[in-house]
Amino acid sequence: MPESLDLSIIVPLYNEEESVPLLHQKIRDAVEPMGLNHEIIFVNDGSKDNTLSVASSLIEEDPRLRVVEFRKNYGQTPAMAAGIDEARGKVLVTMDGDLQNDPSDIPMLVNTLLDEGYDIVVGWRHQREDKLITRKIPSKIANWIIGKVTGVPIKDNGCSLKAYRAAVMKSLPFYSEMHRFIPALLSLSGARVKQVKVKHHARQFGESKYGLSRVYKVIFDLLMMKSILSILTHPVRFFAKFSLPALVGGLASGAYGAHLMLNNEQPMVSMTIAVILISLAAFILALGFICELIYEKGDVKIKELAPLTIRMTQEG
């Protein structure tokens, strides 16, 4: 059985060969004075440059470093999910690999989590060093919409710098761009969430790898999150909304069929439609009751939707 550690730092990397050495050193400088038994996990998200070889070369000088390789580019969320799966720490910290997140904030995040009893501490880039039109404004709009939909008023859902208790993270679903909704997902189970101000730096090397092209994914994921929140909080109400139109249509069709019978006309078609719609309404409502029972028993488990191919460069 793998050794349990105090802390795991998880960093997805995609074409960040220039950032990796400096990032690794900054993480070590920030974490080692804490005196915690820790590990660093770099997840190479199918990089097309020398990110993997640069990251792997650092293993010789740092036995706490592990590198996970994706054979192709899956995206930021699956990369985080793979790192979380492999992590052995009781506390998990995630961050970007482009040096825009500052590793010196890690001790503050971890201490806030442990000393104040939170389950997740979310970084808030209150002074973002990004382009106004393409990054800041879309981010503000997205954060406002996500807060309204999920009911969790996080100011910076897109900030990857977060600290979690591993116990509340291991069973969460991760796919597409869902890492933004972790606070909302955790709040369903009564997790305590706090946001703190963190530093943010302008990109030193290369260009952003996860830009506006993912906006449409976030929109679809937000719609899915809204459905998940509705189903898990009030399953019967959620399914009743869909069963009601079918029930009304069925009753109306049945009433029309009865009218035809009173006038000695053939009601077969109307009555058949009525039976189908009323049965459909009953079926949908029954799904709601089943979900309610499953939720009350605490048996709700959502598995990952995207299988990943992972090779460990160094075994733990």
DSSP notation for 82-129: HHHHH--EEEEEE--SSS-B-GGGHHHHHHHHHHHT-SEEEEE-SS--
Greater confidence, 249 or 172?
249
Q: What is the mean pLDDT of residues 245-269?
A: 89
pLDDT tens profile 155-167: 777 788 999 999 8
Please tell me the pTM assigned to this model. Answer: 0.68
pLDDT tens profile 161-207: 999 999 888 767 665 566 777 776 676 667 888 889 999 887 777 66
Residue whose C-alpha is closest to residue 84's, from 298, 310, 301 = 310
Residue 122 corresponds to which amino acid?
V
Contact call for residues 174 and 78 (beta carbons, < 8 A): yes
Contacts with 199 (C-beta within 8 Å, 6 or more apart), sequence order: 102, 104, 105, 125, 127
| Residue-wise DSSP of 197-264 | E--B----SS--SS-GGGHHHHHHHHHHHHHHHHHHH-HHHHHHHHHHHHHHHHHHHHHHHHHHHHTT
pLDDT of residue 222: 65
> Lowest-confidence range among 96-100, 121-125, 159-163, 228-232?
228-232
Token duo for residue 259: 């009218």
Q: How many helices (DSSP H) and strands (DSSP E) are in the chain? A: 10, 8
